[in-house]
Amino acid sequence: MDEIKPHLIVGLGNPGPAYAFTRHNIGFMVVDRLVRKCELASCGQRDDAVLHSGRIADIPVVAARPMTYMNRSGGPVGDIVRTHGIQFEDMVVIHDDIDLAYERLKIKEKGGDGGHNGLRSLIDALGTDDFVRVRMGVGRPEADIGVVDYVLGEFDASQRSTLEPFLSRAIEAARAILCEGAKEAMNRFNRKP
Q: Residues with catalytic annotation?
A: 24
190 is in an annotated binding site: no
User: Is 102 within any annotated ligand binding site?
Assistant: no
User: What span, in angstroms and rounded, lies between the C-alpha atoms of 63 and 8?
Assistant: 6
d(CA 175, CA 185): 9
Per the annotation, does 117 bind a ligand? yes
Residue 19 marked in a binding site: yes
- Closest to 134 in 3D by CA, of 103, 105, 99: 105
**Would you list which residues are annotated within the binding site for tRNA?**
19, 69, 71, 117
- Please give the annotated binding residues, written as ranges: 19, 69, 71, 117
